């Protein structure tokens, strides 16, 4: 099942067909454009940084970063990284700050082979230490 169907059922879509991810301070960090073959995650400067398949979040090298469920992006340890406007459960959410203008989308890189997903840990009510752009940075 495609994510546009899943998110539409959960009411994740905003009126302009993209979902904003906010960090632990309520700052908008990234957004999803769901009108593509798979859900790409972009920073507001237009950089594609990750994609979602079957609720798993991968960077473009194929590294498994975490998962997206119930409006939350969670890290590999189950801690909250980002929330969307429709997020339920999880840690206390701060007030959402205004979204900046979105720059034009840059070309998406080729996707690497997906890393095997580890067993999903229990969700926590803690914020990840990676609740900013660093979540998308990978070790080289």
Domain positions in the chain are 3-91+99-132
Q: What is the pLDDT of residues 69-118, one digit of tens each?
A: 999 999 999 999 999 999 999 999 999 999 999 999 999 999 999 999 99
Distance CA 74, CA 82 (A): 7
Q: How many CB atoms lie within 10 A of CB 25?
A: 13
pLDDT at site 33: 73
Distance CA 3, CA 111 (A): 18
The yes-or-no verdict on residue 56 having pLDDT over 70 is yes
Name the pLDDT band for 1 (thresholds 50, 70, 90): very low
pLDDT at site 4: 36
Q: What is the pLDDT of residues 7-51, one digit of tens each?
A: 433 334 344 568 899 999 999 999 997 666 568 999 999 999 999
Give the global pTM: 0.83
Q: Would residue 46 be called left, alpha or beta, if left means φ above 0 and alpha means ψ between -120 and 50 degrees?
A: left
């Amino acid at each position: 099942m495609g994510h546009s169907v899943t998110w539409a059922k959960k009411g994740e879509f905003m009126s302009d067909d993209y979902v904003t991810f906010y960090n632990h301070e309520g700052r908008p960090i990234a957004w999803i454009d769901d009108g593509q073959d798979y859900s790409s995650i972009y920073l507001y400067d237009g950089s594609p940084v990750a994609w979602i398949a079957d609720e798993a979040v991968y960077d473009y090298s194929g590294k498994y970063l975490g998962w997206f469920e119930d409006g939350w992006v969670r890290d590999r340890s189950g801690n909250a990284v980002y929330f969307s406007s429709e997020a339920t459960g999880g840690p206390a959410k701060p007030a959402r700050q205004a979204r900046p203008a979105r720059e034009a989308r840059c070309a998406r890189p080729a996707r690497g082979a997906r890393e095997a997903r580890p067993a999903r840990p229990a969700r926590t009510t803690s914020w990840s230490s990676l609740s900013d752009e660093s979540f998308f940075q990978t070790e080289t």
